[in-house]
A and B are shown apart, each in its own frame.
Chain A
Amino acid sequence: MTFVVPIGPQHPALKEPEYFRFEVKGEEIVDFDVRLGYVHRGIERALQERSYLHNIYLSERICGICNVAHTTAYCQTIEQLAGIEVPDRARFIRTILCELERIHSHMLWAGIAAHEIGFDTLFMLFWRDRELVLDLKEMISGNRQTSASNTLGGVRRDVKPEYVPKILRTLEKLEKATEQYINICTSDRTILARCAGIGVLPKDDAKKLCAVGPTTRASGVDIDIRRDDPYDAYGQISFDVITEPDGDVLAKVIVRLREILESIHITRQAVKALPKGPLRAKITPKIEPNEAIGRVEAPRGELLYYAISNGTDKPERVRVRTPTYANIPSFKPMFVGGTVAEIPIVLASIDPCFACTDRVALVDSHTGKTRVLSFKELRRWKG
């Protein structure tokens, strides 16, 4: 005899609405299903209605946390469409902003994961140190979150020479703090008990289900767009791709924390090697018919943009594939066989960030059959 436990749509893991359906036998989870789409905003359609320059600010708002990754991917795609060469200095500044964003995103996630396992002290400490990165972002780009720094053909703001000492000083502080956190996370008994051996994603499944980003790197799959398909200044910077073989939640924590150290390393190199030169290239508002693809390693994984131009100043079609969308199928092997108590931390472990299409599932209590209702049916339905 199995029971269905619905989780969501009110804030199941992070503060975003999504519906998860767990079939449980006692404490054990035997089946898992997901319905996405509570935050469908029609952004891809809206992208077709605006000019290329205005679209930068719309694509920035697809995700608040990885906004620099989104604008970088968008600008990269459009620059390929139009055949624009980005100046060297702009590419390095984009790299710096991308890495600062990765640090802040991973710290935010680590804080939430700590909160999810009931370790609120660690949550506070993580978020305290996250403020250091946000201050840097505010200083460089003029805002804590939506940086509005990328533009077609380059960047809008310079990293001034007087910023450099402060950046290096803060990075040093962060490095020390992160090393301490890695120490805590690998040895604290509470964390080990809640994270080790839980929500395991085996390497085969990670490959088969096409997981991306830290989720798949924690299962020992060695992929990273920054190294495999270098964009911006990553080709001129040396860094390691972090992998862990275990695939459980603890491995995902460790991968993300070690990636913070790697990001600090990259930012330091980029700040020191900042070449001189112009910040942006000239662009034309209209783009000849063409199509292009842009890939970026966002904090959560591979982010893909695809765009078609038609000779006007508006794109014919823009398609965005966010990393969470690619990671959703990998939930199933992580959940099945686990217990109800580990649902929150495993849900949070892929760092979810939702956006898709909308439907509702009905479960008949007599026959146990499931039927999916569309939004129109739901409005007419008076049950």
Chain B
Amino acid sequence: MPRILPQVLRNLFRRPATVKYPYVRVEPPEGYRGRPSIDKERCIRCWLCIRTCPVRAITVNKETKKPSIWLGRCVFCGECAEACPTRAIIMTREFELATYDIQQAKSE
């Protein structure tokens, strides 16, 4: 008898190990590094985030004169959030970032 049979039989009566993703969502844990978001009110324009970003994903928005993060380049390391002296940048727990519009792939 194959040695794995007891495991296989037990699995028949177990609930599935996977979740039906788009219908059932598993919340990421506290402290998950998802999409970074910038609080424009709090930003004091010290540009520390631009200097610490390892992939140069942060640029200055010409109209608002505030930083904006291009998510196509961002590696979600969280260095900018750590460097920000006023905690204007935080890492949210959002992870569904696929989009058709390139303008959407930016932190607002």
Residues of A within 8 A of B (CB): 50, 53-58, 61, 121-122, 125, 128, 131, 135, 138-139, 142-143, 146, 148, 156-157, 180, 183-184, 187-190
CB < 8 Å neighbour of A183 from B3, B52, B78: B3
Q: Is the CB of B32 within 8 A of A142?
A: yes
Q: Is the CB of B4 within 8 A of A148?
A: no
Given A188-B2, A190-B2, A142–B7 Cβ distance below 8 Å?
Answer: no
28 contacts between A and B (CB under 8 A): A53-B52, A53-B79, A56-B54, A57-B54, A57-B55, A57-B75, A57-B79, A58-B54, A61-B75, A122-B4, A125-B4, A131-B17, A135-B29, A138-B28, A139-B31, A142-B31, A142-B33, A142-B78, A143-B32, A148-B33, A148-B77, A156-B82, A157-B31, A180-B7, A183-B3, A184-B3, A184-B7, A187-B3
* B8 CB-CB contact with A under 8 Å: yes
* B76 CB-CB contact with A under 8 Å: yes
Given A50-B54, A148-B33, A183-B3, A143–B8 Cβ distance below 8 Å?
Answer: no
* B52: nearest chain-A partner, CB-CB: A53
Q: Is the CB of A146 within 8 A of B75?
A: yes
In the complex, A142→B79 CA distance in Å? Answer: 13
A-facing mask of B50-80, CB < 8 A → 1, else 0? 0010110000000000000000000111110
Helix, strand, loop or mixed for chain A's interface? helix
In the complex, A157→B2 CA distance in Å? Answer: 45
Q: How many residues of chain B have a CB within 8 Å of chain A? A: 21
* A119: nearest chain-B partner, CB-CB: B4
* B77: nearest chain-A partner, CB-CB: A148
Q: Which of B78-105 contact A (CB under 8 A)?
A: 78-79, 82, 91
Contacts of A190 in B (CB 8 A): 2
Q: Is the CB of A148 within 8 A of B7?
A: no
Residues of B within 8 A of A (CB): 2-4, 7-8, 17, 28-29, 31-33, 52, 54-55, 75-79, 82, 91
What 5 additional pairs, Cβ within 8 angstroms, besides A53-B52, A122-B4? Answer: A61-B75, A121-B8, A139-B31, A143-B76, A188-B2
Contacts of B54 in A (CB 8 A): 50, 53-58
Contacts of A50 in B (CB 8 A): 54
In the complex, A188→B3 CA distance in Å? Answer: 6
B84 vs chain A, min Cβ distance (A) = 14
In the complex, A184→B4 CA distance in Å? Answer: 7
B27 vs chain A, min Cβ distance (A) = 11
In the complex, A61→B54 CA distance in Å? Answer: 12
In the complex, A189→B2 CA distance in Å? Answer: 7
* B95: nearest chain-A partner, CB-CB: A143
* B18: nearest chain-A partner, CB-CB: A128
In the complex, A146→B32 CA distance in Å? Answer: 12
In the complex, A139→B32 CA distance in Å? Answer: 7
* A50: nearest chain-B partner, CB-CB: B54
Contacts of B28 in A (CB 8 A): 138
Contacts of B31 in A (CB 8 A): 139, 142, 157
Q: Is the CB of B29 within 8 A of A138?
A: yes
* 10 A-B pairs with least C-beta separation: A54-B54, A57-B54, A142-B33, A148-B77, A188-B3, A128-B17, A139-B29, A184-B3, A142-B31, A187-B3
Contacts of B77 in A (CB 8 A): 57, 146, 148
Contacts of B4 in A (CB 8 A): 121-122, 125, 184, 188
